[in-house]
Amino acid sequence: MPGDGPGAGRREVGMDMIGIEERFAAAGSLSGQIDELFVAMQDYGFDTLIYDYTPGRYDLSGQLMIPTVLELRNVDETMRDYWCSRGYFRHDPVQHAALGTTAPFFWNYDPKAQTLIHAFMNEDSAPVAEFLWARGLTAGVTVPIHLPGGDYATVTGIRAGDPARLERDARQCLGDFSLIAHLFQRAAARRIAREQTLSGLPRLTTRERECLRYSAEGYSAKEISRLIDRSVPTVVMHLNAATRKLGARNRTQAVARAAHLRMFDQPRG
């Protein structure tokens, strides 16, 4: 921790949450907002940041949804491949612990440490632990962010060194760290939607999403054609394209998948 530990950071940062929120809002991109978050976290002594976001907690098969946004600072970029492409995210004990709480928590991958993630450490999570141990990412603090619309995010700060000292230090700044994480998410939410950084989601055009939304409301293709002033074959074309992109068997399943992924909440245009 800078100075004499987390208390020093708290004196410098904890009293200036308005300034931190303004910096989040002023950043020109989601990446810029992440950089500002990382700076704020470093003032509390964390030297690694992991941020993930999904529009829902579980996919249609009931599995933990792979994040559609995963931002890393001072982390081996191979983590993105392992967590997203190889599915490590689904077996990450930190994520499973975060699903069950709204409170920030300290975690430690040492099997002897009785932290919140201990109950989720098993054979499936062993490769996750091995990856993190190899990179010295064995202890940290995570803030779960459960949003009213079903969105889910976590902000995680990690610091190399003695986990016992980190735990002691973290207890002094958990409140501030949690507040910073929630201020960040509030600023980042619109940016995520506006920049459409949800790379894990199928990309529907504005017209495809509009037709599917009307279909979800019970309108027929003929009725939708009148609502959007297009021919029936054009409406059917848009609905079929949306169904195909969503990997659905039919229009009903396409509507269900789009609703689950909260695509109807995306901004028009």
How buried is 110 (Cβ within 10 angstroms: 0-12 exposed, 13-18 middle, 19+ buried)?
A: middle
Segment 87-121, tens digit of pLDDT? 999 999 999 999 999 999 999 999 899 999 999 99
Quote the distance between the C-alpha of residue 255 and its chain's center.
23
Domains of the chain: 6-195 (3.30.450.80), 206-265 (1.10.10.10)
3-state secondary structure of 75: coil
Q: Which residues pair with 81 in a beta bridge?
A: none
The lowest-confidence range among 6-20, 90-104, 159-173, 222-236 is 6-20
3-state secondary structure of 68: coil
Q: Give me the chain's average pLDDT, please.
A: 87
147, 154, 221, 156: which is closest to 190 by C-alpha?
147
Segment 163-196, tens digit of pLDDT? 999 999 988 999 999 999 999 999 998 888 766 5
Q: Decide if 34 contacts 7 (C-beta within 8 A).
A: no
Res. 144: pLDDT tops 90: yes
Q: Decide if 191 contacts 29 (C-beta within 8 A).
A: yes
Question: Residue 86 — pLDDT band, cuts 50, 70, 90?
Answer: very high
